[in-house]
Amino acid sequence: MVKPASGPSLDQERLELALQSARLGDYEWDMVRDVVVISARMSEISGLPAGEWPAQKGDFLYRGVHPDDREKTRRFMETSMRAEGRFEVEYRRIREDDGRTVWMRTSGLLVTDDQGRAIRTVGVVQDVGDRRAEEDRRRALMAELDHRVKNVLAAVQALAMQTAKRTTSLDSFLSTFFGRLKAMASANELLTAARWRGAAIAHLAAAELGGIAPGQARWEGPELFLTPRAANALSLALHELATNAVKYGALSVESGRVDVRWTRIADGGFELFWSETGGPPVAVPTHRGFGSTLLSQVTARELNGEVDAEFRRAGVNVRLRASAAAVVSRPETVPEAPTPRKIEVAPAVQGPADLAGKRVLIVEDAVLLALELETGLSEAGAVVVGPAYELEEAMNLLGGQIDAAVLDANLNGLSVTPVAEALAVRGVPFVFATGYGDSGAPMGFDAPIIRKPYDVTQVAAAVAALLA
């Protein structure tokens, strides 16, 4: 007769394999003998010594639990065992071998005899430190996002109030405010690409001057990266200077030139020089607008420096000095230098856009933006189709007559590409109105891209240009 081989049974082997695969440690508390058996895997996870030990009525299992969690964990486990015969709880444990604090999850089952008396508890433990750390990181990121969004909203509100106080008409307010808002958006796009670690001065200059003054503006200097606050401040400053140059200064005539240079200074900060030449004769301003206030106070304070402006007859000269606090080291991720954007307002359309009788589809998942687009396009004479807020809704509207479309790039997490493809097949022109940078917009389409935030008249003008 052949005797069976000694060792663990097949069921035990399967259990061992399952525990190992799940990265669980196991233990057993014999309540009759009052001893606890700690497996080798539980010892690795918890830091408790492996083997059989006096249970001390359960105190052995609780002795490494963090003092702030010990009594709460004990009460929960004992209450759950009395009520349900099982428990599951997460707590911190201070390892006895190396003193590290680890997060653990323990699940257990109470075993009773025929008379209902508790005879033992079996349980498993798992190290959940990585998951808890990820949850902590996610909460920190959400808190940081909430903080930044509120700061941005507060800044936009202040920008709107200050702009409104110094403009005399709605058209003037909208033009000035949207320009400043776009300057903030450009800086934000660069910072986002660098994971909010900093933005290069050269990129900020390219974003502000590359589109409005091709061939008339030049910028150069050493590679320097600014903090998010400093980047936003410099972006607004460059926008104000460029806007004034387009309206009254060197960029108002073809012969004018703008030269922007920056250098490092001894204290670790930098100096930036804005110089205009070849423009009409400059007169000293007779009143101080918000642009001047923004330059002299807001920009100087955010850069922890100073701004000096000279209104020479030959051209405006500005010296901006920033301290080392405005400069950061080179981020790990650095975006490519911005390229001149696609035309966002079609130059072929003179005056208000005329879309009389044209059926224009709006695909936009933000209700307020969709309503604003609907109002603006309707005022231009268009018959609005939609708006469609979801991808499926947009696809269902494609069966009717459509002369043109305005498409957001992303609809509640879904790409608008299927709609764009269907329109392209039918030969229907469309415009992308999106908050994404170049990498986020659907690729492979010969369509204008208008960046959020935008003035709705830009969208109407672009649609009219496509239909002209």
pLDDT digits (tens, 9 = 90+) for 265-291: 999 999 999 999 999 998 887 766 656
Asked if 450 and 464 touch (Cβ cutoff 8 Å), the reply is no
Q: What is the pLDDT of residue 347?
A: 37
Segment 413-422 long-range contacts (CB within 8 Å, at least 24 positions apart):
415/442, 416/363, 416/391, 416/442, 417/442, 418/391, 419/363, 419/391, 419/394, 419/395, 420/445, 420/447, 422/395, 422/398
> Token pair of 230, please?
């400093």
Q: What is the pLDDT of residue 346?
A: 34
Q: What is the pLDDT of residue 289?
A: 62
Domain boundaries, the chain: 12-127, 166-328, 359-467
Q: Which residues of the chain have pLDDT under 70?
A: 1-22, 141, 143-159, 162-163, 165-166, 175-176, 179-180, 182-196, 211-214, 287-291, 293-294, 297-298, 333-352, 435-443
Alpha carbon 172 to chain centroid distance? 31
Interval 38-97: pLDDT, tens:
988 888 888 888 999 998 988 888 888 999 999 999 999 889 988 898 999 999 999 888
Domain 12-127 sits in CATH at 3.30.450.20
Using DSSP, state whether 130 is helix, strand or coil. helix
Q: What is the pLDDT of residue 307?
A: 87
* Cβ-based burial of 447 (10 A; exposed 0-12, middle 13-18, buried ≥19): buried
Q: Look at strands 225-226 and 306-312 and give their pairing.
A: unpaired
Q: What is the pLDDT of residue 319?
A: 93
Q: What is the pLDDT of residue 278?
A: 92
Q: What is the pLDDT of residue 2?
A: 38
What number of other Cβ atoms are within 10 A of residue 178's Cβ? 18
Distance CA 428, CA 61 (A): 71
CATH says 359-467 is which class? alpha beta
Interval 101-122: pLDDT, tens:
999 999 989 999 888 888 999 9
Distance CA 390, CA 261 (A): 47
Say whether pTM exceeds 0.85: no
Q: Which fold, 166-328?
A: Heat Shock Protein 90 (3.30.565)
